[in-house]
Structure formats: C-alpha cells, structure tokens
Amino acid sequence: MERFTPLDADHINYEVTVEDPKVFTRQWRMSMILYRHKERNAQLLEYDCYGFDDEFHAPAGQ
C-alpha cells in the first residue's frame, strides 16, 4: 500500500507498506519526504531502472 500525504506546498510524505507472505517473512515499511525543486531551470533527468541481475547480463562495454 502506498500513501502520499501533502505536508505543505513543497513537500509530500511518501509511505509504503509491503506485505507479501509468499516472498517476505513479515511486512516492511518505508517512508521518505519528497520535495519540490525550486531552483531556476531545474530539470528532471531520465533514470533507467534495472533489475538486480541486469549488470550480469548487460552487453560488453556497458
């Protein structure tokens, strides 16, 4: 379950609870504050998300 809670105009509290008895022995939780970048000309950059074993299967030179 994910929960996004606005704190003010520039901050959001993000909370996640993961519960999957087939994979984990108990539920786990994480939370973090997400904040708005207010710098002039701020940019969101692309991010490639790779699985754990992708580094072992990547083509040579990457």
Q: Where are the domains of the chain?
A: 2-57
For 3-25, how does the pLDDT look when each residue is reduced to its tens digit (9 = 90+)? 999 999 999 999 999 999 999 99
pLDDT score of 4: 97
Looking at per-residue pLDDT, the higher value among 59 and 16 belongs to 16
Looking at per-residue pLDDT, the higher value among 50 and 7 belongs to 7
φ/ψ of 37, rounded to 5, equals: -80, 125
Confidence of residue 52 (pLDDT cuts 50, 70, 90): low
Residues 15 and 27: their CA atoms lie apart, in Å, by 13
